[in-house]
Amino acid sequence: MAPLFSAPSARRGMNLGNALDAPADAAHALAPRERYLDAIRDAGFDTVRLPVAWSAHAAPTAPYTVRRAFAERVDRAVDAALARGLTTIVNVHHYHELHEDPEAHAERFLALWRQIAPRYADRDPALLHFELLNEPRAALTPERWNVLLARALAVVRESNPDRTVLVGPAEMNDLRALPRLELPDDDHLTATIHYYAPFPFTHQGAHWVEGSAPWLGTSWGADADRGDADRVAAERAAVSDDLAEAAAWAKAHGVPLFLGEFGAYERADLDSRARWTAHVRREAERLGIGWAYWEFGTDFGAFDPATDTWREPLRRALVPDGR
Ligand code: BGC
């Protein structure tokens, strides 16, 4: 299959998650330190996705001004990533009110892009990418999202005519919602999906997922006993089939595809996490899909900030050969 990479440089990425997207009361917030960007680049990643909770730092009323100190914090992270030659994806993350009440928040969402897009208009279009919105969902249905994304893209294009813009389908960027995503006619769009299946494995014990406690102990791809082979083969095939379905949609629509998040929560066993991560990553690469692991240094962390070292099984699963 022809490569679908959004850019030759956006192949192997890391989400610097729970940092600029962290809610003020987050137990797990991570500072976007420059040495983390060094660690990401030195390990062999070429891309960093920077989720940003712009809406949590913007005024509630028009013109919805983003607080300057926060915007400057984002600037520093963006420029530090770009200075390291990392392809950098900036998005609008955790805009929960928009998902719940799209009508009340549409203008505010567009006003955010009216501020973000010109702010970075002079950054290298080959390296800095925008992503319109993380995981549209709830009342932001596929139909409403199709209308809103076209409006947001038009706002971005006023100041950034050639920049790559990533757009994911509604229903939390689920690949099954790709068929309902309508992309405007634009030569610089990349579709993006998130992949967390099987969910009871990747989100076992996740405190934000109701009913996930009984999933604890779910392994993936474990071939301990004779007789496991069929189950393991089926687990692997399910992932491969899902990603192939997404790649086929992208090919049919002539649009590059990016897997912007995939990962397994820290309460799953590390061997299973490493097996699943390696399999998703390999399948994505085989299909020509660029990817970014969720996430660097908190509860899905491939890196342990307490010791400043990679969790080797996860690092090997992602970037086995380094640079
Ligand atoms: C959310 C995180 C969450 C992750 C996995 C991300 O999009 O921002 O809070 O941990 O998905 O569920």
Query: Within a domain: residue 2?
Result: no
Nearest to 96 by CA among 81, 108, 113: 108
Q: What is the per-residue DSSP string for 64-121?
A: -PBPHHHHHHHHHHHHHHHHTT-EEEEE----HHHHH-HHHHHHHHHHHHHHHHHHTT
Q: Is 97 exposed, middle or buried (0-12, 13-18, 19+ CB in 10 A)?
A: middle
Tell me what the mean pLDDT of segment 143-153 comes to. 98
More confident residue, 322 or 245: 245
> In angstroms, rounded to a whole number, what is the distance separating the alpha carbons of residues 47 and 29?
21
Tell me what the mean pLDDT of segment 283-295 comes to. 97
Query: Within a domain: residue 137?
Result: yes
pLDDT, one tens digit per residue, over 211-264 is 999 999 999 999 877 778 999 999 999 999 999 999 999 999 999 999 999 999
pTM over the 0.85 mark: yes
Tell me what the mean pLDDT of segment 124-131 comes to. 97
Please confirm, yes or no, whether 135 is among the known catalytic residues: yes
3-class secondary-structure state, position 210: coil
> In angstroms, rounded to a whole number, what is the distance separating the alpha carbons of residues 317 and 303?
13
Look at the chain and report how many structural domains it folds into: 1
SS3 track for 255-276: CCEEEEEECCCCCCCHHHHHHH
CB 48 within 8 A of CB 89: yes
CA–CA distances in Å: residue 77 to residues 3, 34, 131, 152: 30, 8, 16, 23
63: DSSP letter: T
Query: Within a domain: residue 108?
Result: yes
Write the single-letter amino acid at 206. A
Query: Within a domain: residue 7?
Result: no
Note the pLDDT of residue 9: 57
Note the pLDDT of residue 251: 95
Query: Within a domain: residue 142?
Result: yes
Helix axes 68-83, 102-119, angle to 10 degrees: 50
Per-residue pLDDT at 155 exceeds 60: yes
Catalytic residue chosen out of the listed positions 131, 171, 235, 261: 261
Q: Residue 287 belongs to a domain with what CATH number?
A: 3.20.20.80
Query: Within a domain: residue 6?
Result: no
pLDDT, one tens digit per residue, over 61-83 is 999 999 999 999 999 999 999 99
- Encode 28-38: b = buried (16+ Cβ within 10 Å), e = exposed: eebebeeebbe
Ligand 1 geometric centre to CA of 297 (Å): 13
Q: Which residues line ligand 1 (CB under 6 A)?
A: 21, 93, 134-135, 261, 294
Per-residue pLDDT at 1 exceeds 70: no
Query: Within a domain: residue 100?
Result: yes
Ligand 1 geometric centre to CA of 228 (Å): 31
Range(s) of the domain holding residue 243: 12-318
Nearest to 221 by CA among 261, 266, 280, 174: 280
Percent of the chain with pLDDT over 90: 91
Query: Within a domain: residue 1?
Result: no
CA-nearest residue for atom 9, ligand 1, is: 18
Please confirm, yes or no, whether 97 is among the known catalytic residues: no
